[in-house]
Amino acid sequence: MLELKDICVSFRSERQDRVFGHTRQQVLFDVSLSVKKGTCLGILGESGSGKSTMGRVLCGLLRPDSGEALLDGIPVYGSRAGRRNLQNKLSVVFQDYTTSANPRFRVKDVIGEGLTVRERREKRRLDRPREIARLLELVGLPADFAGRFPHELSGGQLQRVCIARAVACSPEVILFDEAISSLDAHTQVQIMDLLRELKEKLGLTYVFITHDLTSITYLCDDVLFLYQGHVTEYLPVSRISETKDEYARRLLESIVVFDTEERKDAV
Ligand SMILES: Nc1ncnc2c1ncn2[C@@H]1O[C@H](COP(=O)(O)OP(=O)(O)OP(=O)(O)O)[C@@H](O)[C@H]1O
């Protein structure tokens, strides 16, 4: 289980009214959550609400000012064992697949980065060509893509490669930070179908950061709404229509309007 307990994060910001000195801008306020094994938690909020900051705390990249991040009961920060536990079990897929895949690497090398993590953990060498072919098949790409460079792939194909890299180290948890936001609507659905399939097949746990409510309802079991660094609602997706959160209500209403118009068009 992945947990955050009363997480507070602030960043240093330069003061405008003094030549020297600075203040701190608080970005997360007592954020708590828990993601049970095999489930998907969606984190939703408008731009600047603190979603990525929360993602960075979850994946071990940003030590909070206070509070605790735990994976299977082991604190993520404060000990090498905690960091190693996280590195062994958690992978991340970012929004910008164009920069997260090294443009000089072939697909086999991009996926190879994930395999290296697994080789180090399992202290054995893997049959790389076989593993790369298996992973490409798992994400719905032909084996001969292994020799291609990132610029020879479409956005959707490259994001599939990044997903293969994330899966290559046999993680238990994958954090997706706006991982489908840059793709067109049709490709988004294809990638979400792939993510659902992988979750079932590999027994994965997901944290899915997005500003898009539709993808949350498609993919997630629970949803957490973040507004200016505060958790304003945290509930199962099946009860999302009961939300009192104003931002969530606005998003829900916009979806209802969209549906009605579609139905009107269809008549
Ligand atoms: N390293 C940093 N130093 C200073 N301020 C930061 C830093 N990282 C984030 N912030 C600030 O923290 C706030 C939250 O940023 P964050 O990236 O977490 O929001 P977000 O909800 O992910 O936004 P978006 O959806 O636009 O990516 C913003 O006001 C941002 O300017």
In tens, the pLDDT along 239-254 reads 988 888 787 787 777 6
**Mean pLDDT within 137-165:** 93
Quote the crossing angle between the two packed helices 155-168 and 107-122, to the nearest 10°. Answer: 10
Query: Which pLDDT belongs to residue 13?
Result: 78
Q: Exposure of 235 by Cβ count < 10 A (0-12 exposed, 13-18 middle, 19+ buried)?
A: middle
Q: Is 69 helix (H, G, I), strand (E, B) or coil?
A: strand
Ligand 1: centre distance to CA 52 (Å): 7
Can you tell me which atom of ligand 1 is nearest the CA of 54? Answer: 18
**pTM confidence score:** 0.88
Ligand 1 geometric centre to CA of 48 (Å): 5
User: What pLDDT is recorded for position 18?
Assistant: 60
Q: Which of 8, 46, 53, 96, when mutated, tests ligand 1's pocket best, judged by the most ligand atoms within 8 Å of its CB?
A: 53
Q: How many Å lie between the centroid of ligand 1 and the Cα of residue 58?
A: 15
Cα-to-centroid distance, 49 and ligand 1 (Å): 7
pLDDT in tens, 165-212: 999 999 999 999 988 888 888 889 999 999 999 999 999 999 999 988
Residue 97: pLDDT band with limits 50, 70, 90: low
pLDDT at 255: 59
With a Cβ cut-off of 6 Å, ligand 1 is lined by 11, 27, 45, 47-53, 211
CB atoms within 10 A of CB 228: 14
What is the C-alpha separation between 254 and 258, in angstroms, rounded?
A: 6
The per-residue pLDDT for range 25-67, each reduced to its tens digit, is: 999 999 999 999 999 999 998 889 999 999 999 999 999 999 9
Res 258: pLDDT? 45
Closest residue to atom 25 of ligand 1, CA basis: 47
Distance of CA 253 to CAs 44, 79, 257, Å? Answer: 16, 46, 6
pLDDT for residue 263:
45
Superfamily (CATH H level) for 2-266: P-loop containing nucleotide triphosphate hydrolases (3.40.50.300)
Q: Note whether 191 and 106 are within 8 A (CB).
A: no
